[in-house]
Structure 1
Amino acid sequence: MKPLLALAPLLLFAAEGLMAEDSASTFGPEGLTITPILEATETITGQPIHFPQGNNQLVAVLAEIEPGGQVGRHLHPVPLFVYMLEGQLSIEIEGHGIKTFDAGQGFAEVINTWHNGRNPGDVPARLLIVFSGQQGTPNLIRP
């Protein structure tokens, strides 16, 4: 009986391995491609990214700016990520000039800095914006 008890952990380990292999073939990734977009510790102007503490929340929005349109002067008191889905966006950043982004690019937006985004192109600019903020704190402040 003792030799069988000694083998029990090995048998369990082997059975779990077989189950994991079966699960991987059924539920594992198939046809999956992962393309890195951004890994950043700083915003586009070199500000370190610090996340708020407390009742944190993520807010994701899709924004569309018509050709020749603009967002209007504003600032963000929280960190945010922007991914350009279509078109082009030029951001005039107080004290930092203009930075331009095209479809397929992602960036960490400036924090607590006045700026305005414009669409200089001839097609709509579509952006996915993900704010990392706190409940009760606005994601965008206008003058």
Structure 2
Amino acid sequence: MLHRVLSSLAVCSITAAAVCGCTGGSQPASKAQKAASAPGEVQIEEVFSGSESLNGTPLQYPAGNPELRLFRVEIPVGGKIPLHTHPAPMLVYVQGENSGDLLNTRVQPDGSKVSSVFKPGEAFIEGMSEPHYVENEGNQPTVVWVMVASVEGLPTTEWMQ
């Protein structure tokens, strides 16, 4: 099963690379380029790429049988996901339309806090074992898509006191 999934991912990656190469490179297409595209033409736009967490920690993957997970999370107005960590890195994307901002607050080793606001259409990498919480302080629900690069049997979230 894993072999089929990895093979499919490889084929998709090769196809995407080939299409990007045919359209003039790997740079995201501008809105003007999209508008000028022929009807039915495949369009590929890189939304985000990164190799380190918000704290600047290089990505590390847990040992074990690989497993990708995708979650849609909707945080209501005034909602908060309390202090937690993740044992595997994750890519977080704030939905580009019909979503509010996401406030991400990271607790540093010295106890200080660093906060960042992510607007619709923005993405970031959440690192392994970095304590943080997220909130919606806006006036509309915030929708985030979370892709976790984990391993079978490993929890996605570890809650802190």
TM-score (norm 2): 0.68
Q: CA deviation at 1:112?
A: 0.3
Cα offsets for 1:45-68 (capped at 9, x unmatched): 101001223211011010000111
> Is 1:134 aligned to 2:147, yes or no?
no
Q: CA deviation at 1:111?
A: 1.8
| RMSD of aligned alpha carbons | 1.1
Q: Which residue of 1 aligns with 2:89?
A: 79
In the TM superposition, what are the counterparts of 1:1-143 in structure 2 within 5 Å? 30-85=40-95, 86-95=99-108, 96-143=113-160
Q: CA deviation at 1:119?
A: 0.4
Unaligned runs of 5+ in 1: 1-29
Cα offsets for 1:103-125 (capped at 9, x unmatched): 10111113201111000110000
Amino acid at match of 1:87: G
Is this contact kept in 1: 2:59–2:127, CA < 8 A? no
Q: Structure 1: which 4+ aligned runs deviate by more than 4 Å?
A: none
Q: CA deviation at 1:132?
A: 0.6
TM-score (norm 1): 0.76
What percentage of aligned pairs have identical amino acids? 26
Q: How many residues align?
A: 114
From the CA coordinates, give the structure whose radius of gyration is larger.
1
Amino acid at match of 1:43: S
Distance 1:32 1:107 in 2: 26
Q: Which residue of 1 aligns with 2:7?
A: none
